[in-house]
């Protein structure tokens, strides 16, 4: 039997617990899909595979039991996340400054690069191109700045200067 590792011994990740309302809605939809669609389907497959007899050499049984554990782990994680995250919605006071949830257009004139990024919580990054975590060096440098400001982003590869061209919020 496996021992459960106490949470107090696990390393603490310095991640912010903020999320946009769209991000929270996507997490709720994922939870709902896993709970109502995938889990019952996999549970039926496990029951079918178990009914075939000898489970020691039954690949369907082993694969689907593993998949069921993965689904249950993700469901547990999503329940905890949904309860713990703090939703940050747009507020008119944010206009003109870079804050959580902002779309920021930046340019590095030295390298000739231009990007449009959205600052979000870490759980919203997966599958979203041009989203960056508010805990990233880029986002930390941008937060609180205004259009026309130049920010220095310190990374392991060196320091990079970016100029803020535009700030927008989804309302």
Domains within the chain, CATH numbers bracketed: 16-87 (1.10.287.180), 92-169 (3.10.50.30)
Return d(Cα 145, Cα 52) in angstroms, integer: 64
Q: State the Rg of the chain over Cα.
A: 22
What is the average per-residue pLDDT within 112-128?
90
The answer on pLDDT for 1 being more than 80 is no
Return d(Cα 98, Cα 121) in angstroms, integer: 15
Q: 3-class DSSP state for residue 158?
A: strand
Taking only the tens place, the pLDDT of each residue in 62-94 is: 999 999 999 999 999 999 989 889 998 888 888
What is the average per-residue pLDDT within 14-32?
90
Chain centroid, CA 169 distance in Å: 19
Contact 119, 104 (CB under 8 A): yes
């Amino acid at each position: 039997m496996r021992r459960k590792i106490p949470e107090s011994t696990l390393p603490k990740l310095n991640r912010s617990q903020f999320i946009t309302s769209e991000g929270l809605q996507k997490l709720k939809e994922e939870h709902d899909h896993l709970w109502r669609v995938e889990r019952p389907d996999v549970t039926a497959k496990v029951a079918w595979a178990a009914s075939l007899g000898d489970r020691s050499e039954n690949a369907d049984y082993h694969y689907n039991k593993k998949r069921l554990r993965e689904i249950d782990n993700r469901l547990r994680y999503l329940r905890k996340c949904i309860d713990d995250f703090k939703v940050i919605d747009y507020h008119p006071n944010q206009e003109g400054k870079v804050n959580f949830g902002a779309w920021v257009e930046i340019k590095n004139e030295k390298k000739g690069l231009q990007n449009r990024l959205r600052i979000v919580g870490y759980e919203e990054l997966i599958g979203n191109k041009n989203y960056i975590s508010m805990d990233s060096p880029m986002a930390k440098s941008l937060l609180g700045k205004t259009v026309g400001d130049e920010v220095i982003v310190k990374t392991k590869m060196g320091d990079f200067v970016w100029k803020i061209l535009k700030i927008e919020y989804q309302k």
